[in-house]
Amino acid sequence: MRPPRSSRPGPAASFGARSPHAGIHTWCTAARFALSGLAHAWRTQPNFRTEVGCAALAIILAVLLRVPLTPILLSCALVLSLELVNTAIEAVVDLVSPEFHPLAKIAKDAGAGAVLLASVFALLVGASEFLPRLWSAAGM
């Protein structure tokens, strides 16, 4: 019995393309799949929504306080990206191991640990950037 076919084109689909627009079409198709993944995470992952809200707040605060945006943006991108990777890990683990298995637990816990670690360091980056500006604004 053959496994069901994926709705995504395989890697061979992009090889040998002769159209000059094939690269743009391939990129647009990949972007559509990526946006679908983002939408899924937004709909199903409360932590992702919370992290997006915190990222938006941090970016707005950085602009208002004239804090360098680069470390804030990179920290936010890291946390959000790892949350998406964690979501993917959880989905694959649930697919291949619907019953409890110690290795499935390790995979899920390690993914969650990566998000936690990035979040803690993002808070440290935020504190190192925002606190001096807040203290100087408060006259301390």
Residues of the binding site: 83, 90, 99-101, 108-109
Residues with Cβ within 8 Å of 69's Cβ and at least 6 positions away in sequence, in order, are 59, 62, 63
Are 126 and 58 contacting, i.e. CB atoms less than 8 angstroms apart?
A: yes
Of the candidates 83, 84, 93, 126, the residue annotated as catalytic is 83
Task: Calculate the alpha carbon distances from 85 to 38, 48, 57, 89 in Å.
Answer: 11, 11, 23, 6
122: amino acid identity, one letter: A
Is 51 tagged catalytic? Answer: no
Residues tagged active-site: 83
